[in-house]
């Protein structure tokens, strides 16, 4: 599953007085420096100029697509075409994966995706821009409110010029993130949150799969089977119950609607982030979240913790199933997994920073913590007991229980609800 993080807003400008640099001002300066460099690249700079001229909304979504597409032109090697034979091969893998996952988990499901969409980079952007808009439009509205408040408080000029500038910067940021993700996502189970009537979908981005396959020297068919297994397991997680999708949708909306960007304008922002970088460890997924968790009130952190518990279970359960099934199904599975994990760890410093800022490292923490939790529960009580997590929202572990599986096991056996559990309207308890 593809994880979509919040955008960092630019600063409203400087007052001309000597003061400590705030995060917003630093972002403004950094974006200005980057903009000067990318201005020489015509397709990307054209998209930014068009975004600044647009009149509808704070994020210009047509120009976001153009900017994301323009970043694809920066690739050294253009991907090969996707052939009908590749599409047919993935369909067979999907059918086989459904049987394997169903047999191992014992989960009863309905409404699973009937096909796998085999995408190129631009296909992935087009499929996901609706979801990005669903997530980021509330953020952009919050940004406008924050910008107006700070302009009034600091006596800064406002009006259409400031909003056009903000539109260009935010559109650039979202476009760059979409372009980056389109070049790095391998597979995705899409819940279709903005358009639930269309049902869930399963995607693979074949150019990325092919690139990683070539880089690591993997067995091509088995690598694609591995990815398909992972995404099919996600589809089982959601289609084995009727509450999880609404639970996540409500929690995400609740979090995004409550964002307060003013914390990012505090001069001590960089100090707090450095302290968090030093103190973060593998047992604290919230600290590993970088910006997404720093700019949070206690209430927002509670919502985020609830989401992180769910996402950790989703990723950990999928990894557990992928391990159990993969070892039996794929002869090169263990070697493939080790090579892939080494690749994850060997990112450049620049790419690790970018991943931290946009929240991708948070997803990697979810893999690690969730897998430890699920493996511990299955080893102690078996997979059937672990499957109780899908019964209702009360069965989901808290982040404290993710780090202490025996506590979750004891609570489920006792029938108690989680500590500080808040019932979400309309969600089964």
> Quick check: 200 and 190 in contact, CB under 8 A?
yes
Question: Quick check: 187 pLDDT over 60?
Answer: yes
Q: For residue range 366-413, what is the model confidence (pLDDT) as tens digits?
A: 678 899 999 999 999 999 999 999 999 999 999 899 999 999 999 999
At 41 the pLDDT is 43
- Distance between CA 9 and CA 404 in Å, rounded? 36
For the ranges 341-345, 377-381, 391-395, 424-428, which has the lowest average pLDDT? 424-428
Secondary structure (DSSP) of 248-263: HHHHHHHHHHT--GGG
Mean predicted confidence (pLDDT) in 346-358: 54
- Distance between CA 160 and CA 157 in Å, rounded? 10
> Quick check: 173 and 8 in contact, CB under 8 A?
yes
Band the pLDDT of 85: cuts 50, 70, 90: very high
> Quick check: 390 and 244 in contact, CB under 8 A?
yes
Comparing C-alpha atoms, which of 354, 378, 361, 367 is closest to residue 313? Answer: 367
Comparing C-alpha atoms, which of 201, 184, 151 is closest to residue 68? Answer: 184
Any idea which residue has 């808290």 for tokens?
A: 398
Q: What is the mean pLDDT of the chain?
A: 76
Question: Quick check: 15 pLDDT over 50?
Answer: no
Structure tokens given for 122: 């631009």
> Quick check: 90 and 228 in contact, CB under 8 A?
yes
pLDDT top residue among 16 and 387: 387
pLDDT top residue among 241 and 346: 241
Q: For residue range 276-317, what is the model confidence (pLDDT) as tens digits?
A: 544 444 444 444 444 444 445 667 777 777 888 898 999 999
Backbone φ and ψ for 268, nearest 5 degrees, come out as -90, 15
Mean predicted confidence (pLDDT) in 153-162: 60
Q: Which residues contact 343 (CB under 8 A, 6 or more apart)?
A: 212, 215, 216
> For residue 424, what are the CA distances in angstroms to 27, 300, 412, 415?
36, 15, 19, 19
pLDDT top residue among 83 and 156: 83
Band the pLDDT of 346: cuts 50, 70, 90: low
Question: H/E element holding 189?
Answer: strand 187-190
Best mean pLDDT range from 182-191, 245-254, 374-383, 420-429: 374-383
DSSP 108: -
Q: Which residues contact 231 (CB under 8 A, 6 or more apart)?
A: 116, 187, 188, 189, 202, 203, 204
């Amino acid at each position: 599953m593809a994880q979509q993080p919040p955008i960092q807003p630019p600063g409203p400008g400087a007052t001309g007085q000597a003061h400590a640099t705030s995060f917003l001002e630093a972002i403004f300066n950094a974006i200005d420096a980057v903009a000067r460099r990318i201005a020489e690249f015509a397709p990307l700079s054209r998209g930014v100029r068009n975004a600044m001229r647009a009149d509808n909304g704070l994020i210009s979504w047509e120009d976001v697509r153009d900017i994301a597409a323009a970043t694809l032109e920066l690739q050294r090697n253009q991907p090969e075409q996707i052939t009908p034979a590749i599409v047919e091969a993935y369909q067979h893998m999907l059918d086989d994966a459904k049987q394997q996952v169903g047999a191992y988990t014992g989960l009863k499901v309905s409404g699973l995706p009937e096909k796998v969409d085999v995408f190129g980079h631009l296909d992935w952007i087009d499929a996901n821009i609706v979801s990005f808009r669903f997530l980021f439009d509330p953020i952009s509205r919050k940004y406008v409110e924050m910008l107006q408040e700070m302009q009034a408080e600091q006596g800064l000029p406002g009006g259409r010029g400031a909003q056009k500038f903000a539109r260009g910067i935010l559109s650039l940021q979202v476009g760059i993130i979409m372009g980056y993700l389109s070049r790095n996502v391998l597979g995705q189970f899409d819940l279709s949150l903005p358009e639930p009537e269309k049902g869930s979908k399963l995607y693979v981005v074949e150019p990325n799969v092919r690139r990683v396959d070539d880089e690591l020297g993997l067995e091509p068919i088995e690598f694609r089977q591995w990815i398909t297994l992972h995404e099919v397991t996600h589809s089982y997680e959601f289609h084995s119950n009727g509450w999880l999708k609404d639970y996540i949708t409500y929690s995400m909306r609740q979090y995004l609607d409550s964002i307060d960007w003013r914390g990012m304008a505090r001069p001590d922002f960089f100090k707090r982030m450095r302290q968090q970088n030093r103190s973060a460890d593998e047992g604290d997924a919230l600290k590993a979240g970088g910006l997404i968790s720093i700019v949070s009130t206690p209430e927002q952190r509670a919502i985020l913790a609830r989401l992180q518990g769910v996402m950790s279970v989703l990723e950990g359960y999928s990894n557990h199933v992928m391990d159990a099934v993969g070892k039996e199904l794929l002869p090169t599975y263990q070697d493939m997994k080790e090579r892939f994990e080494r690749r994850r760890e060997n990112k450049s410093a620049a790419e690790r920073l970018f991943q931290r800022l946009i929240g991708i490292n948070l997803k990697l923490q979810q893999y690690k913590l969730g897998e430890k939790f699920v493996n511990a529960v299955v080893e102690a009580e078996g997979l059937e007991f672990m499957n109780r997590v899908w019964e209702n929202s009360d069965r989901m572990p808290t982040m404290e229980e993710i780090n202490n599986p025996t506590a979750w096991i004891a609570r489920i056996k006792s029938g108690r609800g989680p500590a500080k559990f808040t019932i979400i309207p309309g969600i089964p308890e």
